[in-house]
Structure 1
Amino acid sequence: MVFEEGWAVKPLRWLMDEMGEAQLARMGDEPGLVAAIDQHAAELRDTVPLDKETLRDYLLGFLDELRDRGWVFDGRLDPPALRLMAVCWLARELGYLEDGRRA
């Protein structure tokens, strides 16, 4: 995961392009992954309102924390990666990436 210019302008779209599409595609082959993402998505549903702006702001804060800790996505599905995948999954399921507007 590389924080190139523009990642903070449209973070949901950036995250989906950076890791979401490829990682979410794995859900069809890995039932345990489905359960893990569902658990993270449920925690998000219970923690923050899931309107587009709040989910985007949550993602920005979470990414800032990961950057401060020096976390880098290396393909392993550790808790931060699963949380990011849950954000991608929610953004896609809620239609925040399909309306043609910046996410």
Structure 2
Amino acid sequence: MVFEDGWAASPLRWLMGSLGESQLARMDADPGLVAAVDQHVAVLRDAIPLDRETLVDYLLGFLDELRHRGWVFSGESDAPALRLTAVCWLARELGFLEDGNPA
């Protein structure tokens, strides 16, 4: 994952293009990935209100921490990738990417 210019203007859409679409597609054929992402979704549901603004704020803070740690998405389903996939799943399921608004 490369943080190109402007990623913070629409972080949910950027994340979907960078990681989410491929990870969500993998879930169709990988029940283990579904279970792991579901656990991260449950944590997020318990931790934050599930509105667009709060999810975006959470994502920005999480990405900032990942950049600070030097984390790079390698294609593996490590804990950060699972959490980011959970954010994408929630954004899609809650309809946060359906309208034309920045997400």
- Alignment deviations for residues 4-26 of structure 1 (CA, whole Å, 9 cap, x no partner): 01111110000001110011100
1:48 aligns with 2:40: no
TM-score when normalising by structure 2:
0.98
Q: CA deviation at 1:3?
A: 0.1
Question: Please, what is the CA RMSD of the aligned residues?
Answer: 0.5
Q: Deviations over 1:35-62 (max 9, x none)?
A: 0001000000000011000000000000
Distance 2:36 2:23 in 1: 13
Q: Which runs of 4+ in 1 moved over 3 A?
A: none
In 1: Cα distance, 2:101 partner to 2:57 partner: 16
Structure 1 position 90, deviation (Å): 0.2
Please state if 1:91 is matched with 2:91: yes
Equivalent position of 2:18 in the other structure = 18
Q: Point out where structure 1 has 5 or more consecutive residues left out of the alignment.
A: none
State the shift of 1:102 in Å.
Answer: 1.1
TM-score, normalised relative to structure 1:
0.98
The CA deviation at 1:97 is: 0.4
Q: Provide the C-alpha distance between the structure 2 equivalents of 1:68 and 1:80, rounded to a whole number of angstroms.
A: 13
Give unmatched runs, 5+ long, in structure 2.
Answer: none
Does residue 1:9 correspond to 2:9, yes or no? yes
The one-letter amino acid paired with 1:19 is L
